[in-house]
Amino acid sequence: MNGLGDLVIETRALTKRYGDSIVAVDHLDLGVRRGEVYGFLGPNGAGKTTTLRMLLGLVRPTSGRVAVLGAPPGSPQGLARVGAMVEAPAFYPYLSGRDNLRVLARYAGVGEDRVEAVLAQVSLSDRAADRSATYSLGMKQRLGVAAALLKDPELLILDEPTNGLDPAGMADMRELIRSLGEGRRTVVLSSHLMGEVEQVTDRVGVIRDGALVAEGTVEELRGRAGLRVRAEPRAEAARLIRALPDVDEVTSIDGLLDVTVDSSRAPTINRLLVEAGIAVSELYAQKASLEHVFLELTKSEGEPS
Amino acid sequence: MTREVSAELLVLRKRAATWILLGIWTLLGVFFAYVVPYALDAEDSPGGVEQFFPESLPGTLLAGFPFFGGVFALMLGVFALGSEYGWGTLKTLFIQRPGRTRVLAAKLAALAIVLVPFVLALFVAGAVTSLVIAQIEGAPVNWPSAWLLVRSIAAGWLILAVWAALGVLLGVLTRGTSLAIGVGILYALVIEGLLSAFADSVTVLEPLTNVFLRANGYSIATALGASSRNIEANGPGSFSGPFVDSPQALAVLAALIAAFIALSALLLRRRDVA
DSSP state letters, B174-211: HTSSHHHHHHHHHIIIIIIIIHHHHHTT-GGGHHHHTT
Residue B226 has pLDDT above 60, yes or no: yes
- A130 in contact with chain B, both atoms CB, cutoff 8 A: no
Which of B170, B207, B206 lies closest to B188 in space, CA to CA? B170
| More reliable by pLDDT, B203 or B267 | B267
Residue A201, pLDDT score: 82
A107 closest CB neighbour out of B87, B88, B96: B96
- Contact B88/A90, CB-based, under 8 Å? yes
- B-facing residues of A in 136-155 (CB < 8 A) are 147, 151
Averaged confidence pLDDT in chain B:
88
Question: Do the bridges between strand A249-253 and strand A256-260 make them parallel or antiparallel, or are there none, so unpaired?
Answer: antiparallel
User: Quick one: average pLDDT of B125-136?
Assistant: 92
Q: From residue B75, how far is each of B78, B82, B183, B270 by CA, in Å? A: 5, 10, 11, 24
User: Quick one: average pLDDT of A113-141?
Assistant: 90
| More reliable by pLDDT, A153 or B195 | A153
Residue A191, pLDDT score: 82
Give the CATH number of domain A224-287: 3.30.70.100
- A237 in contact with chain B, both atoms CB, cutoff 8 A: no
User: Quick one: average pLDDT of B202-215?
Assistant: 78
- A72 in contact with chain B, both atoms CB, cutoff 8 A: no
The fourth-level CATH superfamily of domain A7-81+153-221 is: P-loop containing nucleotide triphosphate hydrolases (3.40.50.300)
Residue B192, pLDDT score: 80
Averaged confidence pLDDT in chain A:
84
A102 closest CB neighbour out of B10, B99, B272: B10
Name the pLDDT band for B178 (thresholds 50, 70, 90).
very high
What does the pLDDT look like over A246-303, one tens digit per residue?
887 788 877 888 888 777 888 888 898 899 899 998 888 876 667 766 776 776 554 4
How close is the nearest chain B Cα to the Cα of A218, in Å? 30
Residue A221, pLDDT score: 74
User: Quick one: average pLDDT of B193-202?
Assistant: 73
Residue A288, pLDDT score: 67
User: Quick one: average pLDDT of B9-19?
Assistant: 93
- B101 in contact with chain A, both atoms CB, cutoff 8 A: no
| φ, ψ at A71 (rounded to 5°) | -120, 160
Strand order in the sheet with A256-260: A249-253, A256-260, A226-232, A279-286
Residue B42, pLDDT score: 61
Residue of A nearest to B86 (CA): A90
What does the pLDDT look like over A66-112, one tens digit per residue?
999 888 888 888 888 999 998 888 999 999 999 999 999 999 989 88
Report the distance separating Cα A34 and Cα B109, nearest Å: 39
B272 closest CB neighbour out of A59, A93, A103: A59
| Helix locations, chain A, DSSP H | 48-55, 76-79, 97-108, 113-121, 137-149, 167-180, 194-200, 218-222, 234-242, 266-275, 290-298
| More reliable by pLDDT, A217 or B199 | A217
| More reliable by pLDDT, A123 or B152 | B152
User: Quick one: average pLDDT of B135-150?
Assistant: 89
User: What are the start and end residues of each CATH 3.30.70.100 domain in chain A?
Assistant: 224-287
Residue type, A231: A
- DSSP assignment of B251-271 equals HHHHHHHHHHHHHHHHHHHHS
Helix (H, G, I), strand (E, B), or coil: what is residue A132?
helix
Is the CB of residue A39 less than 8 Å from the CB of residue A2? no
Report the distance separating Cα A157 and Cα A177, nearest Å: 11
A103 closest CB neighbour out of B7, B97, B99: B7
- Pick from B92, B102, B267 the residue to mutate for testing the A interface (most A CBs within 10 Å): B92
How close is the nearest chain A Cα to the Cα of B203, in Å? 45
**Considering only CB atoms, which chain B residues are within 8 Å of A101?**
none
Residue A47, pLDDT score: 87
ipTM over 0.85: no
- DSSP assignment of A56-116 equals TTSS--SEEEEEETTB-TT-HHHHTTEEEE-SS----TTSBHHHHHHHHHHHHT--THHHH
**Considering only CB atoms, which chain B residues are within 8 Å of A82?**
95
Is the CB of residue A10 less than 8 Å from the CB of residue A51? no
| φ, ψ at A110 (rounded to 5°) | -115, 160
- B147 in contact with chain A, both atoms CB, cutoff 8 A: no
Percent of chain A residues topping a pLDDT of 90: 25
Residue B47, pLDDT score: 63
Q: Give the count of Cβ contacts less than 8 A between chain A and B.
A: 89
- Contact B273/A53, CB-based, under 8 Å? yes
Report the distance separating Cα A87 and Cα A134, nearest Å: 19
- A84 in contact with chain B, both atoms CB, cutoff 8 A: yes
Report the distance separating Cα A39 and Cα A194, nearest Å: 10
| More reliable by pLDDT, B44 or B15 | B15
Helix (H, G, I), strand (E, B), or coil: what is residue A4?
coil
